[in-house]
Structure 1
Amino acid sequence: MSSRIISRASYFLIITFIIFISEWHNMSQSRAVAQTFSALETLEGAGVRLRRVFGYSQVPLFDPFLMLDDFRAERPGDYINGFPWHPHRGIETVTYMLEGRVEHGDSMGHKGDVNAGGIQWMTAGSGIIHQEMPKPVNGRMGGFQLWVNLPKSHKMMAPRYQEISAEKIPVVAVKENVSVRVICGTIAGISGPVRNIVADPEYLDISLGPGVEFTYPVRPGYMAAAYVTGGSGKFDAAGTDELENRTIALFESRGTSVMITAGRRGVKFLYFSGKPIREPVAWGGPIVMNTEAELQQAFDEYQNGTFIRKNGEVS
């Protein structure tokens, strides 16, 4: 009788172990690629020719992110007219320069440049009016702008800037032939200089050598995506086709890591993840609120001169 009891106990231990291993595998598996998009040419600002990676038509797939524009260009005529004075409310704009620089000014009296390798994380909050004018350096200019949504609780927060020069962005050699510029987030114990962002995002510029495999953890429930900026690579463990320059991979929500395998030329990509807001989106040009009424109010205030607020009050 005792042998039967031991046998039965052993059986239940084995079953419990199998269930545990199965659940652990499901939790620790790398995320598959849910969708891919190719950046499409469009005109913005005063006639700037750029490529939109995702935007209005993809809401809410990339929540909490709204838009990603790639303004790398070879011809000055594609970008030189820039983005003259325009308003923003309810969002954050993130400008990351690879080459050249962008001159900016705003309604709060700020003026400055975002130079090659630098980043500007602008929280528009309750409202800001600014301009961004691209300037080539040695005939070169290019970079990216990412829009991050703000939740209802923070849409009317005070505007602010986080401007970071290239030398203040740490470069981490994770392993041989794996280099990561950490703009926002933490990798290998090294944190990026952009902090205290509501969406709790990560924003990394990653380079992998030819054939290198790289696995990176993703927080449960957070969205994650990778935009290829050079070379090519596979972006999940299932052996999908290689993605090339100006293609984005949106990862599934299941799994706790992403796995990238570089192609024969290596691969460079922007990786970003964040905590979804899951709120209604009312989007009108440079302003993003939760309701059409809030959107109309913002444009009415812009027209009648009460758009800019100070300390939460109309100026």
Structure 2
Amino acid sequence: MQNVTPNSENSVSLRPAARVVAGHPSADGAGVKIHRVAGFQSADFSPFLMVDEIRSENPDDYIAGFPPHPHRGIETLTYMLSGEFEHQDHLGNRGAIREGGAQWMRAGRGIIHSEMPSQGEGGMHGFQLWINMAAKDKMSTPDWRDLQPEQVQERTLDAQGSMIRLIAGTWQIAGESVSGPLLDAASEASVADVRLAPGADVSLPLPEKHTVLAYIYRGSLATERGTVTRGNLVLFGAGESLQLRAPADGPGEGTGLLLLRGAPLNEPVAHYGPFVMNTREQIEQAVRDYNNGTLTD
């Protein structure tokens, strides 16, 4: 795949694969095993901060979940491919999402919540994205809502059965503008689950100024930087259209990836544990507020 410079009104520039970011094993919550790609200090990730993947058939790897803990200054989006997770927070929100569902949370000035598996066997495969909030919104009112699988819009991408599930944001699919129901961030953060048949080659128009990332969770993705395998993230350069190719000799199940895009915030990032602000002083204030019980006031 080559980056094409427009030379007529009918040509478009393709986004090149600018770099590949490797994921790594980690743990969070009460010892949940995850695979993580973090970009807190990478301006070219903005507005995204982190992608965590939970993937295990062993309940011991995830059953302890994420007991009550605080956040400030971010939004999160949790998306499940299999298994179930239940959210509860200090505002009284409570809801479980199952296979194919998602939930969005705005921490704003402060939220205390838990995320716990609601099934003890059968395996777990899902993701949580951390999305930065603009400085002007970081102390806004917390919010939460869920999206059950039947609410997710799906569109076919080619005759081989490749498809896209639209979770958040507005996407142009075959000339039609289609919106996923989650997220209303100033960053225009948008999320889709793309599933490519072996040998598929599809193109999607995307806003030229948006950051575009693809996290491969199944199979592999063919790029001009070589074949990118599962558990890694591709960061694409500037352009008007994104070309996604699944190797023809890949596994029969094809390629699965989370496609992320959003307007970069171009603001400083200060991060400590569950808090993401703009300055170290704001982080210190968040810690004090949590310790003295006023984080959610």
- Work out whether residues 101 and 137 of structure 1, in 8 Å CA contact, stay in contact via their aligned partners in 2: no
Query: Are 1:132 and 2:115 counterparts?
Result: yes
Deviates more, 1:100-109 or 1:145-154: 100-109
CA shift, 1:294, in A, is 1.0
AA aligned opposite 2:155 = V
Structure 1, gaps ≥5 residues long: 1-19, 310-315
Deviates more, 1:143-152 or 1:101-110: 101-110
CA shift, 1:262, in A, is 1.0
Q: Counterpart in 1 of 2:85?
A: 102
Query: Matched residue of 2:43: which SS?
Result: coil
Q: Counterpart in 2 of 1:220?
A: 208
Q: Counterpart in 1 of 2:186?
A: 198
Q: Counterpart in 1 of 2:128?
A: 145
CA shift, 1:186, in A, is 2.3
Take 2:28 and 2:216, find their aligned partners in 1: how far apart are those partners?
A: 22
Q: Counterpart in 1 of 2:255?
A: 267
CA shift, 1:247, in A, is 1.5
What is the percentage of aligned positions where both structures have the same residue? 38
AA aligned opposite 1:201 = A
Q: Counterpart in 1 of 2:219?
A: 231
- Work out whether residues 149 and 288 of structure 1, in 8 Å CA contact, stay in contact via their aligned partners in 2: yes
Q: Counterpart in 1 of 2:69?
A: 86
- Work out whether residues 6 and 12 of structure 2, in 8 Å CA contact, stay in contact via their aligned partners in 1: no
RMSD: 1.8
Query: Matched residue of 2:290: which SS?
Result: helix
Take 1:43 and 1:138, find their aligned partners in 2: how far apart are those partners?
A: 20
- Work out whether residues 90 and 149 of structure 1, in 8 Å CA contact, stay in contact via their aligned partners in 2: yes
Could you tell me which of 293, 306, 309 is aligned with 2:294? 306
Q: Which protein shows a greater Rg?
A: 1
- Work out whether residues 100 and 137 of structure 1, in 8 Å CA contact, stay in contact via their aligned partners in 2: no
Take 1:300 and 1:119, find their aligned partners in 2: how far apart are those partners?
A: 32
Take 1:174 and 1:74, find their aligned partners in 2: how far apart are those partners?
A: 30
How many residues in Structure 1 have an aligned counterpart in Structure 2? 284
* 1:210–1:69 distance in 2 versus 1, CA, 3 Å: same
Aligned residue runs from structure 1 range 51-66, under 5 A: 51-56=35-40, 58-66=41-49
Query: Matched residue of 1:61: which SS?
Result: helix
TM-score, length of structure 1 as denominator length:
0.85
CA shift, 1:135, in A, is 3.5
Take 1:55 and 1:222, find their aligned partners in 2: how far apart are those partners?
A: 16
Take 1:88 and 1:76, find their aligned partners in 2: how far apart are those partners?
A: 26
AA aligned opposite 2:135 = K
Take 1:107 and 1:248, find their aligned partners in 2: how far apart are those partners?
A: 34
Structure 2, gaps ≥5 residues long: none
Q: Counterpart in 1 of 2:235?
A: 250
CA shift, 1:38, in A, is 2.2
Take 1:207 and 1:49, find their aligned partners in 2: how far apart are those partners?
A: 25
